[in-house]
Amino acid sequence: MASQEHLEKMQLRQNYRNLWHADLMSTIQADAPYCCFAFWCSPCASYLLRKRALYNDMSRYVCCAGYMPCSGRCGESRCPEFCLCTEVVLCFGNSVASTRFLLQDEFNIQTTQCDNCIIGFMFCLQQIACIFSIVAMIVGSEELQEASQLLSCLADMVYCTVCACMQTQHKIEMDKRDGMFGPQVMAVPPVQQMSRLDQPYPPTVGYPPPQQAYVQPYGYPPPQPQGYPAAGYPPSGYPPPGYQR
């Protein structure tokens, strides 16, 4: 049941839509100092990354992040720091992969085809080196022994390099999570004046303010125009305008 659940999770990760902030090919360029640190001090980097992935809350720690059958059965609750140290030293590959799965499931990050090819090449090279070592041991040929040793050395170098790039990729992703790249500000295009429905027409920018229209109070006579006599002109006793004797 546990293996079936893990298989379903692996299939579900193929449908994730988010991408890593930096792929495996660009991690050295993105953070070369940390990549060197992860190459020469791989267990230390794995320990720090797992603790950071748990938001520095070791009470949440489970062996291999809960992705292995032994998870939750190693007494992690009593001494999580010691269990994590044991994991990164004895099961270094699983510790890197578990941190990767933890981040992918948290942020819905898929693995790109390029990353899959690099990881697959690493595994295939290790398998080929193992087969060559077995064949050389059975045959007993010195040439095959030397070839198997060279191939094993190459496989180990590729393994250490890919793991260092993966850990740098995890570190960059958590830098993005913790806001170390600054706020993600999106440029807003300028709004066209004619497309705004809430802007009064005609536009007021660059124009004098319109004069307010006079509102006739209720119950009052309308005002008289200036320059004209008021109602009741002329006074009584005077002839109207235009009268001739």
* Per-residue model confidence (pLDDT) at position 72: 79
Q: Which residues contact 94 (CB under 8 A, 6 or more apart)?
A: 64, 68, 87
* Per-residue model confidence (pLDDT) at position 200: 44
What distance in Å separates the CA atoms of residue 71 and residue 68, rounded to the nearest whole number?
A: 5
* Per-residue model confidence (pLDDT) at position 4: 65
Chunked mean pLDDT (size 10), the chain, 245 residues = 63 81 90 95 96 93 85 83 93 93 91 85 89 86 85 91 95 92 50 41 43 49 51 54 55
* Per-residue model confidence (pLDDT) at position 67: 82
* Per-residue model confidence (pLDDT) at position 188: 41
What distance in Å separates the CA atoms of residue 194 and residue 85, rounded to the nearest whole number?
A: 64
* Per-residue model confidence (pLDDT) at position 194: 42
* Per-residue model confidence (pLDDT) at position 180: 85
Backbone Cα Rg of the chain: 39
* Per-residue model confidence (pLDDT) at position 148: 85
What distance in Å separates the CA atoms of residue 156 and residue 129, rounded to the nearest whole number?
A: 9
* Per-residue model confidence (pLDDT) at position 76: 83
* Per-residue model confidence (pLDDT) at position 220: 46
* Per-residue model confidence (pLDDT) at position 222: 55
pTM attached to this predicted model:
0.68
